[in-house]
Amino acid sequence: MNNADYLEQPADIDQLDEKILKLITRNARIPFLEVARECGVSGAAIHQRVQRLLNIGVITGSEFIVDPQKLGYNTCAYMGIYLEKAKFHKQVVAAMSKIPEIVECHYTTGQYAIFIKIQTKTNKHLKKLIDEELQEIEGIARTETYMSLEMNFKRQVPIK
């Protein structure tokens, strides 16, 4: 970590911000006028608030959420990674960020050094990825894979 974000304080947001967040995190294309009506302020105020939330990094973007299976991504797996030496962490993460099927990457406590989430089209595709790409990365000692047979739910963090 090269910045001091371990000292990071929670952003300064008020109840109106929270109300706005609640509405727009559920539906990104909701007209701001509708948000304004619900919150009892003007449309311009909503624009201003959302822009501010973007500027201070509370919201980092917006997306349409797709069902990975409908796009042919049928295999979801979590993988715990053991490193040969802890100091390989940086280079291993750099190499992994080049593999687009790895959608999440964490530095964790517990038995694994790194913990990742992978989404592939088939089990074979996953195997190929592990064989040809992951195990090739210098510094990885071994991996442990947990396949997700079903994602029961997925949602955003609760806003009070």
Question: How many residues are there in the chain?
Answer: 160
Q: With binding defined as CB under 8 A, does residue 36 bind other proteins?
A: no
Nearest to 121 by CA among 97, 152, 142, 100: 100
Among 33, 47, 82, 106, binds other proteins (CB under 8 A): 106
Among 2, 15, 60, 85, binds other proteins (CB under 8 A): 60
Paired strand residues for 117: 78, 104
The angle subtended at Cα 84 by Cα 79 and Cα 127, nearest 5°, is: 35
Residue 45 vs 74, nearer CB to other proteins: 74
Q: Rounded distance, CA 71 to CA 76, Å?
A: 13
Among 39, 75, 88, 112, binds other proteins (CB under 8 A): 112
Stretch that binds other proteins, among 36-44, 103-111, 128-136 (CB under 8 A): 103-111
Q: How many CA atoms lie within 13 A of 9 on its CB side?
A: 3
Stretch that binds other proteins, among 24-32, 35-43, 131-139 (CB under 8 A): 24-32
Q: With binding defined as CB under 8 A, does residue 15 bind other proteins?
A: no
Q: Cα dihedral sign for 17, 21, 23, 28? A: positive
What's the closest the beta carbon of residue 158 comes to other proteins, in angstroms? Answer: 4
Among 16, 45, 52, 68, binds other proteins (CB under 8 A): 68
Residue count, binding to other proteins (CB under 8 A): 65
Instruction: Return the structure tokens found at 52.
Output: 């501010």
Contacts of 142 (CB under 8 A, 6+ apart): 81, 82
Binding site for other proteins (CB under 8 A): 1, 5, 8, 10-11, 13, 21, 24-29, 56-68, 70-73, 76, 78, 93, 97, 100-101, 103-112, 114-115, 119, 144-159
